[in-house]
Amino acid sequence: MKRAACILVSSNDFSFLSSCGQFFSACGVHVVYVENDGKKVLEAIKRCRPDIVILNAIMPFFDASSVIYIAHEFKFALPKFVVLANTDNPEVEKENFEVGASEYILMSSDNSLIFSKVLKLLSYINWHSNKNIFEINTAKSKEADTGAEQIDTELLVTKLILNLGVPSHVSGYGYLREAVLICLGHPGTKFNVTKNIYPVIAKMNNSTPARIERSMRHAISIAWNGGSENGYVMKTELDEKPTNSQFIALILNEVRLNISSKQVS
């Protein structure tokens, strides 16, 4: 029996992620978004078992070639890997192909090459879609709409955190993002950061609640002190440095306001 295909997309380029979500969801393909982090990509591969993984050549923790190499140890079918690069580096390209990459593509403003390469790889997989992938129209199923909304929400959370100056390379950034998404996934539930959030995220990342708390606090401090590329954005928005729970609440409020405004319009 044919099955639905799954694509895992890793990037911090919001425009690219949105384009991937819209394009492949319209093809009847399930799209999973994960941040540009080699460790998170590996965790997502184990969790989702995608058919194709689109990832950047250079990422925090593990680069693309390391991710592909480690993935060979998983006890299930290896996905096809499409590696994206910002610069032309023959050595990096060779290294990725040697460990098993299916495609190595230079990023550009036009995503059509990437999409066509992925569709070609999909054609080799026994997947099912009720749509002709070469005659894509704007009609979407309810499931596709739900998936796109989830991707949009995750992108918004990521964008808000980064815009406040939290650098993506520190572990606290990922923990803050996970905390917000956990709260969004349980509307109406009142969470205690110390009793609920820290323990859950610690379990997800094989860490301890104390380390999660400290990493979040460190990430917020970096943003507050202007240590990221966005400088002192947070100080222009707030009167004093927020606690972990205050920062999470701030992002939650912004996301909910954004969702409410879309529903009204």
Lowest mean pLDDT among 20-29, 53-62, 77-86, 223-232: 223-232
Residue 236, SS3?
helix
In 3D space, the residue among 5, 97, 4 whose CA is nearest the CA of residue 52 turns out to be 5
Is 251 a residue whose pLDDT tops 70?
yes
Q: What is the mean pLDDT of the segment spanning 229-234? A: 59
Query: Residue 55: left (phi > 0), alpha (psi -120 to 50), or beta?
Result: beta
In this prediction, residue 75 carries a pLDDT of 83
Q: What is the rounded average pLDDT for all residues in the chain?
A: 80
Task: Please check the confidence at residue 32 and state whether its pLDDT lies above 50.
Answer: yes
192 touches 260 (CB < 8 A): no
pLDDT band at 258 (very low <50, low <70, confident <90, very high): confident
Q: Residue 147: what pLDDT? A: 45
39 versus 204: which is more confidently predicted?
A: 39
Has residue 9 got a pLDDT over 80?
Answer: yes
- Taking residues 207-215, what's their average pLDDT? 93
C-beta separation of 28 from 73 below 8 A: no
Residue-level pLDDT at 246: 92
Can you list the domains of the chain with their CATH numbers?
6-138 (3.40.50.2300), 151-264 (1.10.10.10)
Mean pLDDT for the stretch of residues 78-98: 90
Please tell me the distance from the alpha carbon of residue 166 to that of residue 176, in angstroms, as a whole number: 10
Continuous segment of H or E residues that includes residue 253:
helix 244-264
CB neighbours (10 Å) of residue 187? 7
Could you give the dihedral angle defined by the CA atoms of residues 147, 161, 174 and 88, in that order, rounded to the nearest 10 degrees?
Answer: 80
Radius of gyration of the chain (CA): 19
8 A C-beta contact, residue 230 and residue 165: yes
pLDDT of 64 above 60: yes
Which region among 106-115, 150-159, 227-236, 241-250 has the lowest average model confidence (pLDDT)? 227-236
Do 82 and 52 form a contact (C-beta atoms < 8 A)?
A: yes
What does the pLDDT read at residue 134? 36
Sheet holding 30-34, edge to edge: 30-34, 6-10, 52-56, 80-85, 103-106
In the predicted structure, residue 244 carries a pLDDT above the cut 90: yes
∠ CA 141-42-62, rounded to 5° = 130
Q: What is the DSSP string of 151-220?
A: HHHHHHHHHHHHHTT--TTSHHHHHHHHHHHHHHTSTTPPPPIIIIIHHHHHHHTT--HHHHHHHHHHHH
Mean pLDDT of 5-16: 85
Q: Is 150 exposed, middle or buried (0-12, 13-18, 19+ CB in 10 A)?
A: middle
pLDDT tens digits for 113-163?
A: 788 788 878 776 655 444 433 333 333 334 344 444 555 677 788 888 888
pLDDT at 133: 38
Report for 11-15, 78-82, 145-149, 225-229: range of highest mean pLDDT: 78-82
| Residue 216 pLDDT > 50 | yes
Give dist(CA 170, CA 148) in Å, integer: 27
